[in-house]
Amino acid sequence: MAKRTEKRKYHGAPTALVIGGGIAGMQASLDIADKGFRVILVESEPTIGGHMAQLDKTFPTLDCSSCILTPKMVEVGNHPNIELLTYSEVIDIQEKAGGFRTTIRKKPRYIDVKKCNACNLCAEACVQRERIPNEFDMGIGKRSAAYIPFPQAVPQKYVIDPNHCLMLTRGKCGKEPKCQKACGANAIDFTQQEETITVRVGAIVVATGYDQFDSELKPEFGYGRYENVLSGIEFERLCSASGPTQGKIQINGKEPKRVVFVQCVGSRDKTVGNEYCSRVCCMYTAKQAHLVRERIPDAKITVCYMDIRAFGKGYEEFYERVQRENIHFRRGNPSEIYERGLSLVVRGEDTLLGEPYEEEADLVVLATGLVPRKGAGNIGKLLGLSQTPDGFFQEARTEETIATSRAGIFLAGCCQGPKDIPDTVAQASGAASLACVQLAKGRS
């Protein structure tokens, strides 16, 4: 069957392309769209929201992350000037007379989005139900092959996972696919094909974000070997009321009483090739330590660190507060973590006391750093962007973090380097400013 291709032209309002639908891409899109320009927002996942949607609370005010994020997601989804292309990726970009001709591939959802009313019956009927690790919950929870990434997803549309759906992998699912039978809206369509959309845009905002550092690259910490050694985002899901444990901090149904946090995992560490600081881990660890104290008041909590980098507004004050909550900050990162009986043992040198320590733990949380998103290199090649030695996209100059070496292409958020939410939002608005300068030029 021939793939559907479509060429779109927008008459009147100039258009910007935003690549990435995390908080950076969302903020940039909203600012551009609010000024009356058109935006095409391309997101590779089936929903916008990015990593921020996975977080439980935000530092230092302890605002619930999804409570402040989801209204913004809805605003993006409803904005008359934003065309949302989720589950899509940019596959080609050509520079054309003061703008770019971009080609976007829209992956098939196998769900007719016009009909789907997000009733969840397909997910309940799916034979793969509760069998596929749920990426949104970092694999801690399970999902069906027909699923919605999380309840507040935008768009509110299900998607069928082509790697796990039996119909799509084997061409057969029992006598007939149960999801299709269950769907009252008749929205399931296994004949859907990939679509290609070509569109001309006047400016591009790159907001491809970050990935969490892979903790298995630090084998001495036993991540992947011990089930009670978790990464930063895994712990966020464990804390989240909408997460797989409904916010109960439990490992195999047991509440940990001794919790150790290890900072700078994959950051400031030449042995894994990441010399840079990831800028957020000190503070998210302080927040997570606070959440443990709040939910397990009698827990023994230790944070192992090199330097505490509480540099943002209200951060030092928050760090102070957490220290007063009987959380022990120990200077000196562990050298190894191993199992002794039923406990983990965290071993290191306390550089303030000048002596080695061994600390028993029921749960170890690794403050995993931020690395450039997988696939960012490909986008970089398409756009002709170079990378700094840390692998993040290269900005025009040190103090100009938004512009790139290419006119009309701008950076927003963690694709340029690790940063926390307010710094990301500020930079995203900045990218919108420069993109609109470009679009306004084209208009006059």
Partner 1 sequence: MKIGVYICHCGINIADHVDVEAVRCFAENHPHVAIARDYTYLCSDPGQDLIINDIEKYQLNRIVVAACSPTMHEGTFRKTISKPGLNPYFLEIANIREQCSWVHADRARATEKAKDLVLSAIAKAVLLEPLEETEVPVTQSSLVIGGGIAGLQSALDIADSGFKAFLVEKDPSIGGHMAQLNKTYPNMEIVDDLIVQKMRRAEENPNIELLTYAEIVAVDGFVGNFSVTVRKKPRYVDPSKCTNCGECEEICPIRVPNEFNMGLDHRPAIYLPFSQAIPSSYVIDPNTCQYLAKGECGRCIEACPSAAIDFTQEEEERTVEVGSIVVATGFEPFDAGLKPEFGYSRYERVITGLELERLLSPLGPTGGNFPTHWGEPESIVFIQCVGSRDKTVGNEYCSRVCCMYTAKQAGLLKERFPRARITVCYIDIRAFGKGYEEFYEKVQKAGVIYRKGIPSEIYKRGEKLIVKAEDSLLGEVYEEEADLVVLATGLIPSREADKVRDLFKLNRSPDHFFMEAHPKLRPLDTAIEGVYLSGTCQGPKDITDTVTHAHGTASRATIPLFKGKVMIEPITASIDAEICSGCGLCEGVCEYQALKKDDYRGHMTVNAALCKGCGACHSVCPVKAITVKQFKPKQVIVQVEMMA
Identify which of residues 219 and 314 has a Cβ nearer to partner 1 in the complex.
Answer: 314
Position 189 contacts partner 1 (CB under 8 A)? no
Question: 94-105 b/e with 16+ CB inside 10 Å = b?
Answer: eeeeebbebbbb
Position 327 contacts partner 1 (CB under 8 A)? no
Identify which of residues 167 and 310 has a Cβ nearer to partner 1 in the complex.
Answer: 310
Task: Put the strands of the sheet holding 15-19 in their side by side order.
Answer: 82-85, 38-42, 15-19, 203-206, 409-411
**How far apart are CB 316 and partner 1 at their closest, in Å?**
5
Position 315 contacts partner 1 (CB under 8 A)? yes
Q: What residues between 47 and 66 interact with partner 1 by CB under 8 A?
A: 58, 60-61, 63
Alpha-carbon distance of 265 to 411, in angstroms, equals 26
**How far apart are CB 340 and partner 1 at their closest, in Å?**
29
**How far apart are CB 94 and partner 1 at their closest, in Å?**
26
Alpha-carbon distance of 231 to 33, in angstroms, equals 36
**How far apart are CB 156 and partner 1 at their closest, in Å?**
5
**How far apart are CB 425 and partner 1 at their closest, in Å?**
6
Position 142 contacts partner 1 (CB under 8 A)? no
DSSP codes joined into one string, 109-153: -SB-TTT-----HHHHH-TTTTTEE-GGGTTSSEE-SEE-SSTT-
Contacting range for partner 1; rule: CB under 8 A; set: 10-18, 132-140, 230-238, 312-320: 312-320
Position 401 contacts partner 1 (CB under 8 A)? yes
What are the beta bridge partners of residue 349? 356
Identify which of residues 63 and 220 has a Cβ nearer to partner 1 in the complex.
Answer: 63
Backbone angles phi, psi at 424, to 5 degrees: -65, -45
Place of tokens 């930063």: 232
Q: Which of 371, 366, 415 is nearest to 264 (CA)?
A: 366
Percentages (nearest 5) of helix, strand, coil residues in the chain: 30, 30, 40
Position 118 contacts partner 1 (CB under 8 A)? yes
Q: How many residues of this chain bind partner 1 (CB under 8 A)?
A: 78
**Residue 107 carries which DSSP code?**
P
Determine which residue in the list 5, 117, 186, 405 makes contact with partner 1, applying CB under 8 A: 117
Position 407 contacts partner 1 (CB under 8 A)? no
Identify which of residues 100 and 329 has a Cβ nearer to partner 1 in the complex.
Answer: 329
Contacting range for partner 1; rule: CB under 8 A; set: 7-15, 191-199, 222-230, 419-427: 419-427
Identify which of residues 195 and 350 has a Cβ nearer to partner 1 in the complex.
Answer: 350
Position 402 contacts partner 1 (CB under 8 A)? yes
Q: What residues between 190 and 249 interact with partner 1 by CB under 8 A?
A: 241
Backbone angles phi, psi at 122, to 5 degrees: -65, -40
Backbone angles phi, psi at 292, to 5 degrees: -65, -45
Position 36 contacts partner 1 (CB under 8 A)? yes
144, with CB counted inside 10 A (0-12, 13-18, 19+), is buried
Alpha-carbon distance of 288 to 418, in angstroms, equals 19
Identify which of residues 236 and 362 has a Cβ nearer to partner 1 in the complex.
Answer: 236
DSSP codes joined into one string, 395-441: PSBTTB-SB-SSTTEEE-GGGSS---HHHHHHHHHHHHHHHHHHHHH
**How far apart are CB 240 and partner 1 at their closest, in Å?**
13
Q: Which of 357, 371, 389 is nearest to 278 (CA)?
A: 371
Q: What residues between 167 and 186 interact with partner 1 by CB under 8 A?
A: 185
Identify which of residues 224 and 314 has a Cβ nearer to partner 1 in the complex.
Answer: 314
Contacting range for partner 1; rule: CB under 8 A; set: 10-18, 99-107, 115-123, 163-171: 115-123
Position 422 contacts partner 1 (CB under 8 A)? yes
Identify which of residues 153 and 230 has a Cβ nearer to partner 1 in the complex.
Answer: 153
Q: What residues between 330 and 369 interact with partner 1 by CB under 8 A?
A: 351-354
Q: What residues between 259 and 288 interact with partner 1 by CB under 8 A?
A: 268, 275-277, 279
Biggest distance spanned by C-alpha atoms of the chain: 73
Q: CA distances (Å), 29 to each of 51, 76, 203, 433, in order?
A: 17, 8, 12, 11
Q: What residues between 62 and 101 interact with partner 1 by CB under 8 A?
A: 63, 68-72, 74-75, 78
Q: Helices 281-295 and 232-239, interaxial angle, to 10°?
A: 30
Alpha-carbon distance of 147 to 123, in angstroms, equals 6
**How far apart are CB 384 and partner 1 at their closest, in Å?**
20
Identify which of residues 32 and 337 has a Cβ nearer to partner 1 in the complex.
Answer: 32
